[in-house]
Amino acid sequence: MGTRITDDTRLSDAALAAELDRLGIAFVTFSAEDRPYPPPAPDTLVASLAMSGEARLRMALIPLFLALPDYACSATRVADVLSGQGRVTLICYYTASMLLQRKYARRLVRLGVDHAPLPDRFGPELALPPSDDVDFTLARLAERHAELSDRPLNWHGTYEQAAKRFIQRLEWEAKQ
């Protein structure tokens, strides 16, 4: 990532919603006039989502990584320059995406979603124990997310909601 993302350079929430839709991720509503042109670089999109003041846009990192696993490289580059809550959000949501991709692999493949596996970029940093039990690891990740963010929320439920909402939308679109 060539430059730091600042409040002046990050995308607006409306532009983020429009860009997600352009990428085929109908996760939040937008107005067509909010679509950024030219489309933002992947690093800018990932950083802007991680730093968004809107929880639903931060949560959109999960369907973004599920739909476009090639954005994993952006996650690594952006994590190297982000700090604070934006970095915590990015590394936890990316790791949740990696785990949810494994959990819902069959459904995602059936829906035609790119199944290139997301590599484990942040598991060791998050002190996640190696395990083949995805639900156990998601629960441990949620605990770490609560510790690192100092926000004792139901992070596990948040991760699951993002993935299920994305998959249900794809299933609905497939029936149309």
The answer to whether residue 139 sits within a structural domain is yes
Task: Quote the domain boundaries for residue 131.
Answer: 13-175
The answer to whether residue 65 sits within a structural domain is yes
What does the pLDDT profile of the chain (176 residues) look like in tens digits? 454 665 566 888 888 888 898 888 877 765 555 565 678 899 999 999 999 999 999 999 999 999 999 999 999 999 999 999 999 999 999 999 999 999 999 999 999 998 899 999 999 999 999 899 999 999 999 999 999 999 999 999 999 999 999 999 999 999 98
Q: Which two tokens stand for residue 171?
A: 């299933």
The answer to whether residue 108 sits within a structural domain is yes
Number of domains in the chain: 1
Q: Give the global pTM.
A: 0.90
Q: Which residues contact 162 (CB under 8 A, 6 or more apart)?
A: 59, 60, 62, 63, 96, 100
The answer to whether residue 6 sits within a structural domain is no
The answer to whether residue 41 sits within a structural domain is yes
